[in-house]
Amino acid sequence: MEQFLASSTYIDYHHPAVMAKAEALAEGLSTKEAVARSCFVYVRDAIAHTGDAGRGVSTIKASEVLEQKTGWCYAKSHLLAALLRANGIPAALCYQRLSCSEYTPDLYCLHGLNAVWLEAYGWYRCDPRGNKKGVDAQFTPPVERLAFALGENEYDIEGRFAAPLPEVIDALRTYTRYEEMVGHFPDRSA
């Protein structure tokens, strides 16, 4: 579990602002599940999804997402992992391959989400991407309520990752603004 508790370049929970936010989100809560829910709701609701906003920078590090208050799904998952890990809760990054036709027809891309270790249930996936019409992600262990139901030619990427996938980091570094990222989302085929 150590790798899922570590601070890193992109899940930089040792950053003072991330530590302060993690502490604030845990204040007065007595269980790790309650802390995990608090962190999830904060990232889902208080951090704008860059695609939904239709503008913004492509943040990468958890501290950047927190500072800018925006991020693509991948970056939002980096912040949630950082907040959870800062509170001693193991957190992983997960990915799905989904249709991105809302941006570009016939395009598929990776979608970033999280898995959190909850003593009562084991690994539990949650999706802090942000709700909107047709998207209703919730934190309801043990039942997963992710942002998207898988459709034709869509699937979960196998595994839980301690660090972001290289193709995700490459895309976020290369396409630094909303307008640049649309049509160039990271992808990984089976």
Does the pTM surpass 0.85? The reply is yes
**Does the structural domain 2-181 have CATH classification 3.40.1010?**
no
pLDDT in tens, 144-179: 999 999 998 899 999 999 999 999 999 999 999 999
**Rounded to whole angstroms, what are the CA distances from 111 to 31, 50, 156?**
29, 13, 9
**Cα(124)–Cα(121) distance, integer angstroms:** 7
Provide long-range contacts, Cβ within 8 A and 24+ apart, for 171-175.
171/58, 172/58, 172/59, 172/60, 172/72, 172/74, 172/75, 173/60, 175/58
- The pLDDT assigned to 188 comes to 86
